[in-house]
C-alpha cells in the first residue's frame, strides 16, 4: 500500500538519496528454460534486443534482453513447459521468420534468432524517436506533447492533411475527452473545450510541414534511440493482457497481498488482478451522465485501506472497499456539476479533518468535500498567478495537515492552498514552461513532481521552499516519478517505451525497454522485492507490466 512506499521514500531522502543496488542478479544462477543468441548480418551479435516468449493460449508474455554477446536466457522458473511463440523488439530489425520454441521440463531448449533489416522503420519508431526525427523548434515540438495521450505520433506524420484540414482536425480532436482512443473516441459535453478551427492555425501550419501532405515521403531522416546496453539489459519484464481492447490501465497500486489494482481510463471499472492466479475482478463504477465520456484516472489507498478514485467526466468521486467490494459515490454539488466538469485526482488526508480535495479540468476550479455532511466548497487559485497566461492544473495532492498542493501544467508552477486559512501560494519551477504533472509526497511533506516538458524530476522541500532538479535522458517526458527504498528515482513515460531508473547522486540511468508500444502513465514501485521492482499499465495495449531489474 502507498503508506509503505512513502515511508521508504522518506528514509531515502533523509539519507541524502543514497543509491546502492545489489551486485547480484536475482535469476543469475537459475537454470535456463530457453536460451540462444541474437545476430544479424549488419551487426553480428546484437546487444539490447528484447526477446519475448508467449505460451500458446496464455495472457502472459515473458521478456528478457540480450547481453553484450547477443545472448538471452529465460530462467526455468519463468517459463512453464509448452509451446511458445517468440518475437523480438529491436528498432530497425525484424525476425527473419516466424519463430516458436518448445519448452520441456527440466531441460534447456536452445533457439538462435536471426534478424534482418526492416523494410518499414517508420512503423517501429516510438513517440520519442518521432520527436527526434521531425524538424522544428522546441516550442513547435512541444505542441505535440498532448497528442501522445490518445494515439501515437505516427498517425500525425503519416497523414496527408493540409493546413486547412489540420485546423478542422485539431479542433475536433480537442473536443474529445482525454479518455478517448482510436477505437473509442468520446466527445465531451462542453463544446467550448474544442475551440474554433482558426485557433489552431499555428499548430496546423507546423503539422503540415512534417506529414505527407505535400510529398509521398518524409523530407527528413528517421532517427532512432540506441538499444539498451550494460545494466539496462539486466531485466525481466512480464506483461499481462487484461483482454478487453478498450481497457486502459492507468493508475496502478498494489495491496499487501500482492494484488494489482488499477483504474480503467477507457471504461467505467476499478479492477483487481492477481498475478499468481491470473484472476481479474472488475468492479463497475457508476455512470451519472449517460452522454459524457467514460473512464477513471486516479486511484489511491487512504490510510484506512479504502481505495479512492475519480470518475472524471461523470462528475463524482468514489470509494471502493477491497474487503467487501462495496462502492460509494460523492457527486459534485449540483450548482457546479455542469457539462464543463472533469474531476481528476483526490487529495487524501481526510483522517486530519474529514475533508477530501479534488479539481475540475474544465473550469480549473478546486473543490473540497466534507465527507460527513456531503457538502462542497469551491476555490479558484489560478486567479492568483501572473496575468496574461492560460493556466491548467494537473494533479492535486494533500500533505500531512491536509493542505492542498497543485501541479500547474501549462507554465510550470507548484501551488498550495492552506486548509485552514485558504491562503494560496505559488512557486515557479526552476525550468521555464516545465509543465508540472504527477506528484508524490512523503511523510515529511517533501514533494516529487515530474516536469513533463522540462524532462526532469524535481523534489520540493515544503519547509525550505526550495527545488532540486534531476535531468532525465532526452525525450523521456516523464509522466510520474517515485523514489524507492535505496534512493533511486523511477520514472514512467509516454514517449520512449522505457522505464527509467536514475541514481540521483551520479545521474547514471538504466532504461528498461518495454517489449511493445507501452503508453505508460502512473507507476508503482514495489519496495517489498529485492531488487526493487516496478509495475505500470500499458495504456494503449490493455496490459499490465511488471519490470524486475536483476541487479
How far lies 82's CA from each of 97, 103, 270, 512, in Å? 20, 5, 33, 27
Number of domains within the chain: 3
Residues 165 and 238 in one domain: no
Q: Residue 29 — very low, low, confident or very high, per pLDDT cuts 50/70/90?
A: low
| Mean per-residue pLDDT, 476-499 | 96
pLDDT of residue 225: 98
In a domain, 242, yes or no: yes
Can you point out the beta strands (E) in 289-350? 299-301, 307-310, 316-320, 327-331, 343-347
Residues 106 and 156 in one domain: no
pLDDT beyond 50 at 26: no
Q: What percent of the chain is modeled with pLDDT above 90?
A: 92
Residues 195 and 292 in one domain: no
Pairing assessment for the beta strands 260-264 and 235-241 based on DSSP bridges: unpaired
Q: What percent of the chain is modeled with pLDDT above 70?
A: 95
Residues 183 and 313 in one domain: no
pLDDT of residue 243: 82
Residues 475 and 526 in one domain: yes
The CA distance from 180 to 248, in Å, is 10
The CA distance from 280 to 254, in Å, is 14
In a domain, 256, yes or no: yes
Residues 341 and 391 in one domain: yes
In a domain, 222, yes or no: no
In a domain, 25, yes or no: no
In a domain, 82, yes or no: yes
Cell 503508453 sits on residue: 519
Tell me the per-residue pLDDT of 255-280, one tens digit each, with 9 for 90 and over. Answer: 999 999 999 999 999 999 999 999 99
Residues 243 and 203 in one domain: no
Helices and strands, number each (H, E), in the chain: 7, 38
How far lies 235's CA from each of 87, 230, 250, in Å? 17, 11, 23
Tell me which of 16-20, 325-329, 362-366, 454-458 is least confident.
16-20
Question: Residues 478, 483, 487, 492: what is their CA dihedral angle, to the nearest 10 degrees?
Answer: -30
Cis peptide before 160 (omega within 30 of 0): no
Please tell me whether residue 129 adopts helix, strand or coil conformation.
helix
Q: 322: Cβ–Cβ under 8 A, 6 or more apart, which residues? A: 255, 261, 272, 305, 306, 307
Tell me which of 23-27, 199-203, 238-242 is least confident.
23-27
- Per this entry, what is the length of the chain? 551
Q: 473: Cβ–Cβ under 8 A, 6 or more apart, which residues? A: 496, 498, 500, 509, 511
Tell me the per-residue pLDDT of 321-359, one tens digit each, with 9 for 90 and over. Answer: 999 999 999 999 999 999 999 999 999 999 999 999 999
Domain that holds residue 463: 2-14+234-549
Residues 304 and 328 in one domain: yes
pLDDT of residue 534: 94
Tell me the per-residue pLDDT of 152-186, one tens digit each, with 9 for 90 and over. Answer: 999 999 999 999 999 999 999 999 999 999 999 99
Question: Residues 293, 179, 483, 307: what is their CA dihedral angle, to the nearest 10 degrees?
Answer: 30
In a domain, 128, yes or no: no
Residues 281 and 389 in one domain: yes
Helical axes 163-174 vs 201-210, angle rounded to 10°: 120
| Mean per-residue pLDDT, 23-48 | 82
- CATH number reported for the structural domain that contains residue 97 in this entry: 2.60.40.10
| Mean per-residue pLDDT, 85-113 | 96
The CA distance from 407 to 375, in Å, is 25
Tell me the per-residue pLDDT of 271-312, one tens digit each, with 9 for 90 and over. Answer: 999 999 999 999 999 999 999 999 999 999 999 999 999 999
- Grid coordinates given for 501: 531508473
- CATH number reported for the structural domain that contains residue 347 in this entry: 2.130.10.10
Residues 397 and 428 in one domain: yes
pTM of the model: 0.93
In a domain, 271, yes or no: yes
- Grid coordinates given for 546: 511488471
Residue 416 is given by DSSP the state: E
538 contacts 516 by C-beta, under 8 angstroms: yes
Residues 188 and 309 in one domain: no
Give 466-518 as a DSSP string: EEEEEE-STT--EEEEEE-TTS-EEEEESSSSEEEEE-TTT--EEEEE-SS--
The CA distance from 188 to 162, in Å, is 26
pLDDT beyond 90 at 501: yes
Residues 112 and 154 in one domain: no
Amino acid at each position: 500500500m502507498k503508506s509503505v512506499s512513502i515511508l521508504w521514500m522518506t528514509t531515502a531522502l533523509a539519507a541524502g538519496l543514497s543509491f546502492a543496488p545489489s551486485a547480484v542478479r536475482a535469476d543469475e544462477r537459475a537454470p535456463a528454460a530457453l536460451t540462444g543468441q541474437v545476430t544479424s548480418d549488419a551487426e553480428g551479435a546484437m546487444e539490447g534486443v528484447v526477446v519475448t516468449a508467449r505460451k500458446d493460449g496464455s495472457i502472459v508474455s515473458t521478456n528478457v534482453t540480450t547481453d553484450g554477446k547477443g545472448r538471452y536466457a529465460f530462467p526455468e522458473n519463468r517459463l512453464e513447459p509448452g509451446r511458445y511463440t517468440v518475437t523480438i523488439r529491436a528498432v530497425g530489425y525484424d525476425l527473419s521468420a516466424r519463430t516458436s520454441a518448445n519448452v520441456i521440463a527440466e531441460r534447456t531448449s536452445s533457439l538462435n534468432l536471426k534478424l534482418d533489416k526492416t523494410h518499414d522503420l517508420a512503423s517501429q519508431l516510438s513517440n520519442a524517436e518521432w520527436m527526434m526525427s521531425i524538424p522544428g523548434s522546441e516550442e513547435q515540438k512541444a505542441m505535440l506533447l498532448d497528442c501522445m495521450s490518445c494515439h501515437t505520433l505516427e498517425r500525425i506524420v503519416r497523414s496527408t492533411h493540409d493546413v486547412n484540414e489540420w485546423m478542422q482536425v485539431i479542433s475536433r480532436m480537442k473536443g474529445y475527452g482525454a479518455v478517448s482512443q482510436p477505437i473509442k473516441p468520446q466527445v465531451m459535453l462542453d463544446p467550448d473545450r474544442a475551440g474554433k478551427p482558426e485557433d489552431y492555425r499555428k499548430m496546423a501550419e507546423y503539422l503540415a510541414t512534417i506529414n505527407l501532405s505535400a510529398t509521398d515521403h518524409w523530407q527528413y531522416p528517421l532517427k532512432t534511440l540506441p538499444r539498451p546496453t550494460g545494466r539496462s539489459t539486466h531485466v525481466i519484464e512480464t506483461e499481462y493482457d487484461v483482454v478487453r481492447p478498450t481497457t486502459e490501465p492507468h493508475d496502478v497500486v498494489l495491496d499487501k497481498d500482492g494484488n494489482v489494482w488499477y483504474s480503467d481510463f477507457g471504461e467505467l471499472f476499478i479492477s483487481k488482478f492477481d498475478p499468481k492466479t491470473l484472476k481479474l475482478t472488475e468492479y463497475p463504477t457508476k455512470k451519472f451522465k449517460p452522454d459524457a465520456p467514460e473512464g477513471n484516472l486516479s486511484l489511491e489507498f487512504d490510510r484506512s485501506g479504502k481505495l479512492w478514485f475519480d470518475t472524471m467526466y461523470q462528475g463524482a468521486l468514489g470509494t471502493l472497499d477491497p474487503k467487501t467490494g462495496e462502492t460509494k459515490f460523492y457527486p459534485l454539488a449540483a450548482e457546479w456539476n455542469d457539462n464543463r466538469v472533469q474531476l481528476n485526482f483526490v487529495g487524501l488526508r481526510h483522517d486530519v479533518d474529514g475533508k477530501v480535495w479534488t479539481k475540475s479540468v474544465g473550469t480549473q476550479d478546486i473543490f473540497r468535500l466534507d465527507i460527513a455532511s456531503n457538502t462542497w466548497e469551491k476555490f479558484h487559485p489560478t486567479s492568483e498567478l501572473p496575468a496574461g497566461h492560460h493556466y491548467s492544473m494537473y494533479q492535486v495532492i494533500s500533505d500531512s495537515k491536509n493542505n492542498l498542493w497543485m501541479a500547474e501544467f501549462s507554465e510550470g508552477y507548484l501551488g498550495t492552498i492552506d486548509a485552514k486559512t485558504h491562503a494560496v501560494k505559488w512557486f515557479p519551477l526552476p525550468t521555464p514552461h516545465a509543465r508540472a504533472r504527477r506528484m508524490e509526497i512523503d511523510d515529511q511533506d517533501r514533494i516529487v513532481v515530474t516536469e513533463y516538458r522540462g524532462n526532469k524530476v524535481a523534489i520540493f522541500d515544503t519547509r525550505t521552499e526550495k527545488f532540486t532538479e534531476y535531468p532525465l535522458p532526452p525525450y523521456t517526458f516523464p509522466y510520474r516519478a517515485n523514489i524507492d527504498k535505496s534512493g533511486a528515482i523511477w520514472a514512467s513515460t509516454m514517449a520512449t517505451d522505457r522505464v527509467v531508473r536514475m541514481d540521483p547522486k551520479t545521474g547514471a540511468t538504466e532504461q528498461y525497454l518495454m517489449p511493445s508500444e507501452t503508453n505508460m502513465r502512473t507507476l508503482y514501485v514495489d519496495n517489498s522485492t529485492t531488487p526493487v521492482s516496478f509495475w505500470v499499465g500499458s495504456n494503449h495495449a490493455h496490459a499490465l507490466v511488471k519490470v524486475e531489474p536483476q541487479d
